[in-house]
Structures are given as structure tokens and as C-alpha cells.
Amino acid sequence: MAKGRVQLHGVMKSFGAVDVIKGVDLEIAPGELTVFVGPSGCGKSTLLRLVSGLELPTGGSIMIGDRDVTLVHPSERGIAMVFQSYALYPHMSVAENMGFGLKIAGLPKNLIKEKVARAAEILQLTPLLDRKPRALSGGQRQRVAIGRCIVREPEVFLFDEPLSNLDAALRGQMRVEIARLHAKLGATMIYVTHDQVEAMTLATRIVVLNAGRVEQIGAPIELYRHPANLFVAGFIGSPRMNFMDGLVDGAEADSVSVRLNGATLRLPRHNADVRPGAKVTVGIRPEHFRVGPGVDAGDDQAVEFDSVIDLVERLGGETLAHLRMPSLSDGVLVVKMSGDIALRIGTGLRVGVRLAQCHLFDAQGRAVGEPGSRAAVAA
């Protein structure tokens, strides 16, 4: 059964001289909720429009199910799309909006009514069927837009930043509704967002895009734990990962010694080519720091730094401290602590981190070690 499977082979798209998508290969299994995520301008929306058929690729091919749909009209691809702006027809009622595609397809009226009623029930829109879009709230409009998709019974649902126009509270609520809908329908969904929280919470798999290329594909936690490169490491996770410049001291078959901020770290090496003297980047997530005097003293699996508190953000449930290090010339370090912790700006703070939670990237930005995969030893 290949119904609902989506395959992209070497898909490229240029607008004039500008290459927006530079060759994307991707396979989405039936029933997956795949999230395209990336900074604005990375091509994620363009890639979605290529799948929808609203744009045609300048190279490569697209398969939906067992069909090559590269040049097939959007209405005949077996897709349905939810737009950021909802794109409801303002002069039609909710029921007419949802049934418009079926009406154009020439389905008999009673069948349309039946399908619309069923979709409305799933989305709890039944009491609103006779309303016009302007009489609905933002969340209701978005539900109608989703209903318009359900009615078409597509192989693939496409969502183009569907929650960006909603306020924060409603966004959280709609996110849960979409997750629930995916569980209920079991349909393949492709979801575009720039919000990594949406990506992390909704996705079966995340596709991280940057400058028209795929940076990494994987399950949310996999991307969080094992980012393949600096870009993904910096993009997934909030607040973003701290990066520190280090220098390779010595390289052995299965480990690398890195000089960093006065300490020497022995980190596992994975696949990249690292020689002594090479510049590397060490990445540590804010939530992986441990705070307090002598937290990791005597632990050869950890490393400690002295720092000065530069700024404190107290969020109640957690506290973010921005730290300066005397020997760290570039920027500040962000440390995330759970709970509300009173810290005084300008005072010293000793933070430690387990070596297993340090990420190492070579000069090209590729991951060198896989933290957590092997024990790292501090020299």
C-alpha cells in the first residue's frame, strides 16, 4: 500500500536566476506527519507548493502514492491545503466553503451535503454551517479551512503555516487539535512552520531546511539529541545551543581532545576528519548545564567553568542566566535552570556539564561526536 506516500527526487525550483530549492530528496511514509521547518526564506513554503502543484519544479520529480504527479494539476493530485490566511471564500457559507471542491467536481448535492456534515461533525462545526466566514473567530475559520480539506478525502494534507495568524493561546489549542486530528484520520500530512515548538510537538519526522537544501531529516528527539551539523544544532531547541570555539589537541581513533576555555575535553569522535590543531566548535544546550559550587568536582565525566552573571531572565517555571566567562572572548553563555532561582547580576557562578552532553562540530560545521553514544573521558 503506497497510498499516502510522498516521494521527492532531486526536486529543484528556480525563480529566474534565483535557486530557491536546490535538489531535495525525501520520502514520506503513509500516515506520517512531516514538518518542514527552517528560517524564513529557506524554501520550506516553496517546497510545500511544489508538492501541492501550485508551483511546478524546474527539475526532479514528485510522486504521490504510486503516481508521478510532477506535472499533474493541483486538484488531481489527491492533496488538500490549509493556508496561513485560511483563504475561505468570503461570500460563501461554511457549508458552501467546505463543499465547493465537490461542487466543482460535479458531485450530486445530497452526497456533498452528507460529506460536509460528516467533516463538520469531526471538527465540531455543525452549528456554524450556515455562517459566513466573517462571522467566525480565527480558530473557527482555521477549522473550516481544515474541514474543506477533510471533505476532499485527500491522500495528503498540506498545511502552510496554519497557526501563524492566531494568538499564542489559540495556537497552543489548535496545535493540540491538529495532533488529535492526525491521530484520528491517520492521513499523511505535511506541515510547514518556522516555529520549532510546533515542529517538535507535532512531527513524526522533521525536515530541517536551510537555503533550499535539506540539512537533516529525523524524529524530533533524534534531531534534538543528535544534530548532524551546526545549523540544526542551533535551530532545534530553545533557547538555542551555546557554541564555543575550541582547538583540537590530539586525535585518537575513537576520541578527540579539545582545548576549550582553559580546560581540555576528551570527546568521542564519530566520522569527521579532525586533526590536531584544527578549529572545532563545542555545543552545549542551556538546559544541560548544572549550577552550583563544585557540582561536578572530582567527576571525570564532566567539566566545569567559572563565569560571571551578566543577565537573569526569571520566567517562574524556569530561570535563564546569561553568563560571561573571563577567558571566553566571544559572546555569552546561556544557562537554563528549572524553577525560580534568585541570582544576582555581577556575581560569580560555577557551572558544570557532563561531557556526554557536549556536541562537537568540525570546521565545516559537521558533527564530530555523537554525545551520549559513547562515554567521554575528561583528560
Of the residues 52, 210, 255, 261, which one makes contact with other proteins according to CB under 8 A: 52
Could you give the strand order of the β-sheet that contains 358-361, starting from the edge strand earlier in sequence? 263-268, 255-260, 242-251, 279-284, 358-361, 367-369
Place of cell 466566514: 133
Q: Shortest gap between Cβ of 154 and other proteins (angstroms)?
A: 9
Q: Shortest gap between Cβ of 92 and other proteins (angstroms)?
A: 8
The answer to whether 229 and 215 are in contact (CB under 8 A) is yes
Nearer of residues 96 and 222 to other proteins, judged by Cβ: 96
Nearer of residues 1 and 104 to other proteins, judged by Cβ: 104
Q: Shortest gap between Cβ of 341 and other proteins (angstroms)?
A: 46
Name the grid cell of 43: 524554501
Nearer of residues 90 and 317 to other proteins, judged by Cβ: 90
Mark 110-139 with x for binding to other proteins (rule: CB under 8 A) and - for no binding. ------------------------x-----
Q: Shortest gap between Cβ of 269 and other proteins (angstroms)?
A: 48
> Measured between alpha carbons, how far is 362 from 273 in angstroms, rounded to an integer?
8
Applying CB under 8 A, the site for other proteins has a residue count of: 25
Nearer of residues 107 and 247 to other proteins, judged by Cβ: 107
Q: Which residues pair with 214 in a beta bridge?
A: 209
Q: Shortest gap between Cβ of 81 and other proteins (angstroms)?
A: 5
Footprint on residues 62-101 left by other proteins (CB under 8 A): 73-76, 79-81, 83-91, 100-101
Is residue 105 part of the contact set for other proteins (CB under 8 A)?
yes
Q: Shortest gap between Cβ of 74 and other proteins (angstroms)?
A: 5
> Measured between alpha carbons, how far is 173 from 139 in angstroms, rounded to an integer?
9
> Measured between alpha carbons, how far is 171 from 164 in angstroms, rounded to an integer?
8
Nearer of residues 29 and 105 to other proteins, judged by Cβ: 105
Handedness of CA 21, 22, 28, 33 (dihedral sign): negative
The answer to whether 6 and 28 are in contact (CB under 8 A) is yes
Q: Shortest gap between Cβ of 134 and other proteins (angstroms)?
A: 8
Task: Provide DSSP, 2-50.
Answer: -TT-EEEEEEEEEETTEEEEEEEEEEE-TT-EEEEE-STTSSHHHHHHH
Per CB under 8 A, residues contacting other proteins are: 52, 54, 73-76, 79-81, 83-91, 100-101, 104-105, 134, 148, 152
